[in-house]
Amino acid sequence: MKPPSELPAIRTSMLPKDTNAYGSIFGGVILSLIDLAAANEAERQAPHRYLTVAMDQIAFHAPVRVGDIVTLWAETLSMGRTSIRVRVKVLARARRSPHENEVTTAEVTMVAVDEAGRSIPILS
């Protein structure tokens, strides 16, 4: 396994298009970012095409609002023959604030696949 990255998997600003009628970011937007961060980490470990097999239970501990800067940190927990398990931590910071709030943490299982979608060994 490659050592943990010192850079976040994703850092982005939340825009009005990502919000519900109350100005909070849709949970599905955050889930999509978690999925992308996990795939980025899996590809960093071994360059393959990956599909998401599972995400553990996700609980949102703090709201994310329009304009917040969201940072997702990813680390590989384990590697199997065809799958990688990745922990993704999501933090949000209001603009002009030095404080980040932990939004959620997820563990995502990704499987390496070929062009036909069949699982393949990660390491050859």
pLDDT in tens, 60-117: 999 999 999 999 999 999 999 999 999 999 999 998 899 999 999 999 999 999 999 9
The domains of the chain, with CATH numbers, are: 10-113 (3.10.129.10)
pTM confidence score: 0.94
pLDDT in tens, 14-49: 999 999 999 899 999 999 999 999 999 999 999 999
61: CB partners within 8 A, 6+ apart: 101, 102, 103, 104
Rounded CA-CA distance 43/40 in Å is 5
Burial class (CB in 10 A: 0-12, 13-18, 19+), 107: middle
**Chain mean position to CA 61:** 16
